[in-house]
Amino acid sequence: MTDHRGLWEHALYTTPRTEHGYCTDDNARALIVLSRVPDPSPDLVELAGIYLAFLQDAQLPVGAFINRRSADGSWSTEVGSDDSHGRALWALGSVARNGPAPWMREAGLDMFDKQEDFHSPSPRANAFAVLGASEVLLSLPDHPPARHVLEQCVGHLLVQEDDLWPWPEERLAYDNARIPEALLAAGVLLPNDGLVEAGLRLLEWLVATETQDGHFSFTPVGGWAPGEPRPGFDQQPVEAAAMADACTRAFSITADDRWKDRVERAARWFVGANDAGVALYDPQTGGCGDGLTPERINLNQGAESTLAALAVLQLAQAL
């Protein structure tokens, strides 16, 4: 799925759909996954360099990012969404802390510092930016730009004082568990016990909301609000990845084995412990189906879904 420019966005089964080009979102996701590999092979180091170079090319002088790139290497003229900007900052923070080569760590930090004041109404964009700033601060606790991003963006993640619906939006959307994960990350680093408590409470609620008959039943691609049917479809692998990351962070804070069990539950979702009882992850190709429908999977193994599966398997193996 990767060539000399970056990671292709979509696939027809296992073949890249080059006509759809590349995106900053997926190259950022790939860089995050590779930054977590403890002892990467030379091939993985080379891939990380390709994905970082993609983000370098995507970044504008003011620090924001273009999201879309065509197969011929040309870029869209439009600045990417707030979410793609936040996700790129998360990747840069990850590579600044744990990049597989010194030059990558230095480049990642330089690029993170290029962004000007990050403002967004999107809870996920703010959550992604918080996660990136947290990565920087874990290696450089007094880094002013990262601390500014952390403090500014976490202020936009408001948990409602409502036990039935504490979620900061009217409906669940996508990558949902990133919001409580960001609260946990910020709460530890500021430090702020209130943020940690809010993150744990929100994550407990989300786990309960997205569990059915002992397995995860994730929010479908169109979102979900009370009164709408469950289970919903298509369910997306990114939901499992977000949940696994958030539960891993909760386990690191609390040492409560329930969170570790939920990481394993998210991993089992990929191999059949889901509403359709079918496996999305294909061990023969290393890829993952693009979505779970009521009776089967989407057999296309695109970048987002495959990276989600790899990220969850990575976490489950490390616990």
Does position 257 have pLDDT exceeding 90, yes or no? yes
Looking only at the bridges linking them, the beta strands covering 15-16 and 11-12 are antiparallel
> Residues 202-251: pLDDT tens digits?
999 999 999 999 999 999 999 999 999 999 999 999 999 999 999 999 99
CA 188-132-17 angle, to 5 degrees, is: 140
Q: Looking at residues 139-143, what average pLDDT do you find?
A: 96
The residue type found at 191 is: P
For residues 22-37, average pLDDT? 98
Per-residue pLDDT, 295? 86
Q: Identify the pLDDT of residue 103.
A: 97
pLDDT single digits (tens) 262-279? 999 999 999 999 999 999
* Dihedral sign (CA 206, 212, 216, 218): negative
Torsions phi, psi of 123, nearest 5? -60, -40
Beta bridge partners of 5: none
Please indicate whether residue 281 or residue 116 has the higher confidence score (pLDDT).
281
| CA distances to 104, 190, 225, 266 from 274, in Å | 38, 37, 20, 9
Q: Which two tokens stand for residue 96?
A: 């600044």
* The pLDDT of residue 3 is above 90: yes
Q: What is the pLDDT of residue 227?
A: 93
Average pLDDT over residues 285-302: 96
Query: Is 90 exceeded by the pLDDT of residue 2?
Result: yes
Give the pLDDT band (50/70/90) at residue 147. Answer: very high
Whether the per-residue pLDDT at 117 is higher than 90: the answer is: no
Mean pLDDT of 49-57: 98
Residue 116 in this model has a pLDDT that exceeds 80: no
Q: Are 183 and 195 in contact (CB under 8 A)?
A: yes
pLDDT (mean) for 58-84:
95
Instruction: Give me the percent of the chain exceeding a pLDDT of 90.
Output: 95
Q: How confident is the model at residue 319 (pLDDT cuts 50, 70, 90)?
A: confident
Give me the residue label for tokens 């386990």.
251
* pLDDT at 184 exceeding the cut of 80: yes
> What pLDDT was estimated at residue 42?
97
Q: Does residue 243 contact residue 216 with C-beta atoms inside 8 Å? A: yes
Mean pLDDT across 138-157: 96
Contact 53, 91 (CB under 8 A): no
Backbone angles phi, psi at 151, to 5 degrees: -65, -40
Question: What is the model's pLDDT at position 115?
Answer: 87
